Amino acid sequence: MTTWLTDEFVDRVRSESDLVSVISTYVPIKRKGKQFWGCCPFHNEKTPSFAVTPDKGFFYCFGCHAGGDVFKFISMIENISYREAIIFQGEKLNIPLPERTRSPEEAAREEKLKRLREAHELAGKFFHNCLTLTKYGAAGLAYFHSRGINDNIIEEFNLGFAPDAWDKLTTAFAKRGIDTGLLLESGLVLKRQKGQGEYDRFRNRVMIPITDERGRICGFGGRVIDNGSPKYLNSPETVLFNKRKLLFGLDKAHRAIGQEGFSLVVEGYMDVISVSAAGVKNVVASLGTAFTMDQCKKLLRYAPAIYFCYDSDNAGQEAIARAIDIAAGTNAIIKVVQLPDGKDPDEYIRRHGVDAFRQVVKGALSVVDFRLKHIMAHSDVSGLEGRLRVLAEMLPVLASIRNTVERSAYVSKVSQLLSVSENDILAELGKKSRRVSDKSTSVRTMRSVVRQVDDAGRRAGRTVIRMVWDEPALLEHFSSLVPIGSLPDPIHRQILTALMEKYREGEAIRDITGLAHLGDEAVEELSRAIVEDLGEEDRSLLYEACVRQLRRNYLVSQYEVHSRNAEELYRQGDAKYLEELAISQKIKKEMDELQGVNY
């Protein structure tokens, strides 16, 4: 067995990862010369200071100083470790993890997961075959066809039917020799309350396989085709099936989400299937629970915008309001699709057609418009008390608007709706805005803009780091003139010491995988050194000038040391002061020769 996360695996994931494409998934960037620039996703800014250098594989923000390679970006944007970022990107690229030496417990757990997946895949085939190949599925086919779901969509979503019998699946799996304990753990079968044996969880229901992003079946949703209860029945929570982390349809929708620039989130499985059948492919659904942060983060991997399109009834609108609160903790662009007629997406498309549905989606409301409409619909503004209550609810929403022109327009709108003076609203807004802004700051925007002290020595050190990164053999030359341990900047000492160790061990210097242990500050300074534009000056002349600058700084510190030693020895009457004096004079001579050479 090979070691997990081998160099070969990491190198392959890195080589197949396009830094620009990865970053563009989260934040818009535009090419300017050899670099790409955009507004930093890690702090609030209006003027782009976030640079990406694709040929070097690094990004750096000149405002908050975030920097690193593709894995560092993923770790920061997804709030996961560097190692987890490598695995995350490898899975996204469908690059299999290398095998590793596992403990007996780990091997047993992985074997159980494998068998659970196999059981779910077999169950998916069983339900699909029941629907399409047996007489049991006639009622299911009739139901799907009545909903406008044709045979092509049935195949695409691997839809199925659970027969109206107690143990069809249980018996079929027993004949295959599948372990009963495994089926119980999967939730596909249940123990009988009385007597011995098991029975099928799903009976007389159309069956909808629920898959992860890689298309692997994790569980099932079953819908009644009569007036039975419950209307929907899901698989129970298992090691494979976590409703808070899964999104129905994401394995089929992620490419369309990237192409359209937004994900369309609906309430149920049938909405996803019907909307997708009509040709709108960027659609997903949460799994019978409130929209979660885990689901939000998954969608933001593919596009920066999320459109919520829930039922038009009160429950659906309340669910949208809660979902907005969850998504507000990110940098997501949030919009709300309001369907007329009080219909869900499936009903609306069947009644009005997909073109009408697309137009409604195109006219999606901003969060502010939705909240204003929602608050007004549930408030009595005939009296002063009611108007003040609405204003109190709207103030945090108004304070969250960053664009001053847009905020002014909404202040005017609220003023007219509530018959309250704009000046009074602005006065109240001034009291609330700072507190609301602090509360609504997302996880990604917690970094602060920091002004770093940058003198000639620090700039010279950074340039040398860049030169060494491009040409590691320069390390020997540089360290012969400027001992790395003498550099006044501790971060530069860290970086160059680590690079020297890799160089002397014969390791290639091409990424930060082996340097992540130095800490974020070192990685960020290294990233700046690599991303920073060195201008049009001749590189060899630039390197020589930087070395002279740092050599002179080193000589100044050495001159001070030997001069102090000479003075101390002279006061003590020690003749060795002559040796120290000679050394200091020699240093002074070289300093004079370098005098006037500035970086």
DSSP label of 335: E
**DSSP secondary structure of 121-189:** HHHHHHHHHHHHHSGGGHHHHHHHHHTT--HHHHHHTT-EEE-SSSSHHHHHHHHTT--HHHHHHHTSE
Terminal Cα-to-Cα distance of the chain (whole angstroms) = 53
Closest by alpha carbon to 546, among 589, 500, 594? 594
Q: Please give the Cα distance from 580 to 252 (Å, whole number).
A: 76
Q: Which of 234, 268, 293 is the C-terminal boundary of a domain?
A: 234
- Position 243 in a domain: no
- Position 241 in a domain: no
Domain with residue 159: its CATH number is 3.90.980.10
Same domain for 282 and 339: yes
* Residue 46 three-state SS: coil
Domain with residue 44: its CATH number is 3.90.580.10
Q: Please give the Cα distance from 549 to 595 (Å, whole number).
A: 10
- Position 109 in a domain: yes
* C-alpha 476 chain-centroid distance: 40
- Position 228 in a domain: yes
Closest by alpha carbon to 353, among 148, 60, 87? 148
**pTM for the predicted model, two decimal places:** 0.61
- Spell out a b/e string for 448-462, using b for 16 or more CB atoms within 10 Å of the CB, else e: eeeeeeeeebbebbb
Same domain for 134 and 42: no
pLDDT of residue 453: 66
Closest by alpha carbon to 72, among 518, 516, 531? 516
- Position 297 in a domain: yes
CB 119 within 8 A of CB 39: no
Same domain for 337 and 303: yes
- Position 239 in a domain: no
Same domain for 342 and 280: yes
Cα dihedral across residues 287, 293, 297, 300: positive or negative? positive
Same domain for 364 and 255: yes
Same domain for 322 and 406: no
CB 89 within 8 A of CB 74: yes
Average pLDDT for runs of 10 along the chain of length 599: 70 92 90 92 86 93 91 84 88 83 77 89 96 94 91 95 92 89 90 86 95 91 88 90 92 88 92 92 86 89 89 80 82 88 81 92 90 79 81 80 78 85 81 48 48 80 91 90 90 91 79 69 90 82 90 89 89 88 88 64
Same domain for 503 and 578: yes
Q: What is the 3-state secondary structure (H, E, C) of 244-300?
A: CCCCECHHHHHHHHHHHCEEEEECCHHHHHHHHHCCCCCEEECCCCCCCHHHHHHHH
Same domain for 583 and 490: yes
Which residue has 């818009």 as its token pair?
28
Same domain for 387 and 342: no
Structural domain of residue 544, as residue ranges? 456-594
* Residue 238 three-state SS: coil
Q: Report the number of distinct structural domains present in the chain.
A: 5
Provide the token pair at 498: 């680590």
Provide the token pair at 411: 């202040």
Q: Please give the Cα distance from 397 to 436 (Å, whole number).
A: 9
* C-alpha 251 chain-centroid distance: 17
- Position 1 in a domain: no
pLDDT of residue 599: 38
Residues 6+ apart with CB under 8 A from 398: 368, 407, 410, 411, 414, 425, 429
Same domain for 589 and 461: yes
Strands 333-336 and 365-366: antiparallel
pLDDT of residue 1: 37
CB 390 within 8 A of CB 379: yes
pLDDT in tens, 412-464: 888 888 888 888 888 877 766 544 444 433 334 345 666 666 788 889 999 99
Q: Which of 329, 353, 370 is the C-terminal boundary of a domain?
A: 370
Same domain for 526 and 423: no
pLDDT in tens, 64-74: 899 999 999 99
CB 217 within 8 A of CB 121: yes
CB 82 within 8 A of CB 516: yes
pLDDT of residue 319: 86
pLDDT of residue 163: 94
- Spell out a b/e string for 188-204, using b for 16 or more CB atoms within 10 Å of the CB, else e: bbeeeeeeeebbbbbbb
Domain with residue 279: its CATH number is 3.40.1360.10
Provide the token pair at 372: 């204003």
Same domain for 326 and 264: yes
Q: Which of 92, 127, 143 is the C-terminal boundary of a domain?
A: 92
